[in-house]
Amino acid sequence: MMKDLFARLNPLRADAPAAIDGAALDRRLAALAQAADLGEGRLAPAAVEQARVVADRAQARRGLSEQLTVVAFAGSTGAGKSTLFNSIVGAEVAKAGVLRPTTSEPLAAIWQENPETVALLQWLGVTRWHVVDDGAAALADLVLIDLPDHDSTHSEHRAYVDHFVERVDLMVWVLDPQKYADALVHEQYLRRFSRHDDVTVVVLNQVDRLTVAEAQQCLSHLRRLVAEDGLSDAVVLATSNRSGEGLEGLAERILSAVTGRRTALARSAADVATAADNLARAAQDPGTPVAGSRPADVEHLTDALTEAAGAPVIAAAIEKSSRHKAVQAVGWPPLKWLARLRKDPVAQLRLERPGVDPRLVRSSLPSNDPVARARANTAVMEYADKASAGAPQAWVQSARAVADRASAALTDHLDQAVTRAPLVPTRNPRWWGAFGVLQWALFALAVAGGVWLLALAALAYLQFPVAQAPTVEGFPVPTLLIIVGLLGGIVLAGFGRVLARTSASRAARAAREALRTEVALVAEREIAAPVAADLATVDQFRDALRTAQGG
């Protein structure tokens, strides 16, 4: 029967099931392996593991003869797999019967027994095979397998199906009019292989038991179900072993799979694409562009870290210290010593350590305190979330993990930024010197006036004839000297205070800027750069998946 069936067919009419060659499959396999590597630690381990298993299996199939095409009949018990197998082989090779289930082990039919065929059978796990010797040269490269039922009461039958469904090149699902809509075959098998249109055939067998109208109805319902399973391009045929209907169509499909010599490649390509789909699903990729490192976000992060590094405390200390020193410099000379009694807040914070390696010292700053640390962490996490916006969920998580790891050492880095930054002004404002000189001059005037008056009083007391002190507008000059000296000193001190306040807030601003410059380097190096490096792999992952999916 086999000979008759295939003799009528013209193998040249047979098209290759998919336009894929070995080099293209190798590229897709490499892309899948790369995507799995990039997913490692980011995606659910099962998805990564599954991708690797698929890649390994496809690689193993690549190493076996791709000239040979493995076609298997699977389906529910009693659907007629073994009978169909015999019809195709053209001999009673497989046992078919009324006792359910009949077939309990896979059985292969081969048309040439050579080392390649045997190696392939061994890899498939087939232990029983029949060598057909009917001279059908067109089928020399076919390995046909009859499987046990997938819906068996015997669990090992289902285990066989699960094993073979992952390995054979072309799956032929044989269903019968009673059970073709069973959820089991659709949900547990066909749906899982929605990428496998090219290498899946669904057969509605035993149509001789239906009227022509019923057969039409069943077939179109089955076509709909198969399309809903995602296999809209899969071939769906009606057959009967009794009437012979549809057997030629099935034989033709099998022949085209064999002569096209692309079925093994197409099957592996479909597996690779499915594994890539699963990786994409595991990554929860919205497919939107990744925000990445945006200058405004880095600025925002830098601001937050500058605050966390203690900018408010430092600025306040610098301001206070600057005012304090200004008062010392321009204050009224007799009272200067009072200012010296107060402690310099800059010294208290240990901000001034000329010539000391900043890596070796710690400041006594609030970056060490838990609130500042928490604030820095929040800012870092916010940054990671902003940068990873649009990325697959798996990368949103990994960017957070990268940022979290970076945060651990952040306190130290911020503290070093504080010690590195030139916070304390190295030079005092010039006007301090001028004011100081002026203060001393005014004080000297007052002292001179006082001494002059005392001298006059002493001379008068000692009854010396004393000339009147010179006057200006009726005021004696020594008295004027005292008044001008004292008043001038007080006014100058007051004026100095006002100026000191302005220059102190300038010094505070400069300190804040200097700190921010150092913190910006920390933010870039410790946070933005590692997060960006992590997110750079999103494009690689997406490209790899696209390649693996055949896009």
Ligand X SMILES: Nc1nc2c(ncn2[C@@H]2O[C@H](COP(=O)(O)OP(=O)(O)OP(=O)(O)O)[C@@H](O)[C@H]2O)c(=O)[nH]1
Cα-Cα-Cα-Cα dihedral sign, residues 278, 283, 287, 292:
negative
| Residue 175 parent element (H or E) | strand 170-175
Q: Which two tokens stand for residue 460?
A: 């008068």
Closer residue to ligand X (CB): 83 or 411: 83
Between 107 and 231, name the residue whose CB sits nearer to Mg ion: 107
Q: How many CB atoms lie within 10 A of CB 469?
A: 16
439 binds, among ligand X, Mg ion, none (CB under 5 to 8 A by kind): none
Q: Which does 206 bind (CB under 5 to 8 A by kind): Mg ion, ligand X, none?
A: ligand X
Q: Which residue is nearest to ligand X (CB)?
A: 80
Nearest CB to ligand X, comparing residues 53 and 210:
210
3-state helix, strand, coil in the chain (%, to 5): 65, 5, 30
CA-based Rg of the chain, rounded to a whole angstrom? Answer: 45
To ligand X, the closest distance from the beta carbon of 131 in angstroms equals 21
Q: How far is the CB of 235 from Mg ion (least distance, A)?
A: 22
Nearest to 404 by CA among 541, 280, 531: 531
Picked from ligand X, Mg ion, none, the partner binding residue 97 (CB below 5 to 8 A depending on kind) is: ligand X
The answer to whether 76 contacts Mg ion (rule: CB under 5 A) is no
Q: Which is nearer to ligand X, 103 or 388 (CB)?
A: 103
Rounded to whole angstroms, how far apart are CA atoms 292 and 390?
A: 9
**Which of 87, 103, 241, 547 touches Mg ion by CB under 5 A?**
103
* Segment near Mg ion (CB under 5 A); pick from 32-40, 45-53, 76-84, 279-287: 76-84
**Contact by Cβ (8 Å): 316, 508:** yes
Which CB contacts under 8 angstroms, 24+ apart, belong to 91-94?
91/1, 91/2, 91/132, 91/134, 93/130, 93/132, 94/146
The residue (of 136 and 238) whose beta carbon lies closer to ligand X is 238
Q: Name the binder of 89 from Mg ion, ligand X, none, CB < 5-8 A by kind.
A: none
Phi first, then psi, for residue 142 (nearest 5°) are -100, 135
Structure tokens at 495: 């004026």
The footprint of ligand X (CB under 6 A) covers 77-83, 96-98, 100-103, 148-149, 205-206, 208-209, 240-242
Determine which residue in the list 33, 47, 54, 82 makes contact with Mg ion, applying CB under 5 A: 82
Reply yes or no: is the peptide bond before residue 470 cis, omega within 30 of 0: no
Query: Count of residues for the chain?
Result: 551
Q: Which residue is nearest to Mg ion (CB)?
A: 103
Task: Quote the least distance from Cβ 165 to ligand X, whole Å.
Answer: 15
Cα 386 to Cα 365: distance, rounded to the nearest angstrom: 29
Close Cβ partners of 430 (under 8 Å, ≥ 6 residues apart): none
In the structure encoding, which two tokens stand for residue 531, read together?
Answer: 């997060």
Cβ-contact 260, 17 below 8 angstroms: yes
Cβ distance to ligand X smaller for residue 102 or 388: 102
Q: Given the complex with ligand X, which of 28 and 253 has the nearer CB atom?
A: 253
* Distance of closest approach, residue 77 Cβ to Mg ion, in angstroms: 8
Q: Which does 259 bind (CB under 5 to 8 A by kind): Mg ion, ligand X, none?
A: none
Distance of closest approach, residue 72 Cβ to ligand X, in angstroms: 12
DSSP E strand stretches across 183-238: 200-204, 235-238
DSSP string over 244-268: -TTHHHHHHHHHHHHHH--HHHHHH
Locate tokens 């053209």: which residue?
Answer: 90
Would you say 24 or 210 has its CB closer to ligand X?
Answer: 210
- Beta carbon of residue 96, minimum distance to ligand X (angstroms, whole number): 4
Least gap, CB of 175 to Mg ion (angstroms) = 14
77 binds Mg ion (CB under 5 A): no
The CB-of-250 to Mg ion minimum distance in angstroms stands at: 16
Shortest spacing between CB 167 and Mg ion, in angstroms:
19
Q: Which is nearer to Mg ion, 103 or 278 (CB)?
A: 103
Choose between 238 and 520: whose C-beta lies nearer to ligand X.
238
What letters, b where the CB count within 10 A reaches 16 and e where it falls short, cover 74-113? bbbbbbbbbbbbbbbbbbebbebeeeebbbeebbbbbbbe
User: Is 102 a binder of Mg ion (CB under 5 A)?
Assistant: yes
Residue 177 interface partner, choices ligand X, Mg ion, none, CB cut-off 5-8 Å depending on type: none
Q: Quick one: what does residue 77 bind among ligand X, Mg ion, none, with the CB cut-off 5 to 8 Å set by partner type?
A: ligand X
149 touches, from Mg ion, ligand X, none (C-beta below 5 to 8 Å by class)? ligand X
Report in angstroms how near the CB of residue 103 gets to Mg ion at its nearest.
Answer: 3
Closest approach of Mg ion to the CB of residue 146, in Å: 6
Q: Which does 78 bind (CB under 5 to 8 A by kind): Mg ion, ligand X, none?
A: ligand X
CA distances 185 to 146, 278, 295, Å, are 17, 20, 54
Residue 460 CB burial class (10 angstroms; 0-12, 13-18, ≥19): exposed
Q: Find the shortest distance in angstroms from Cβ 155 to ligand X.
A: 14
Closer to Mg ion by CB, 45 or 97: give it: 97
Q: Within 13 Å, how many C-alpha atoms sit on residue 145's CB side? A: 34
- Residues near Mg ion, by CB under 5 A: 81-82, 102-103
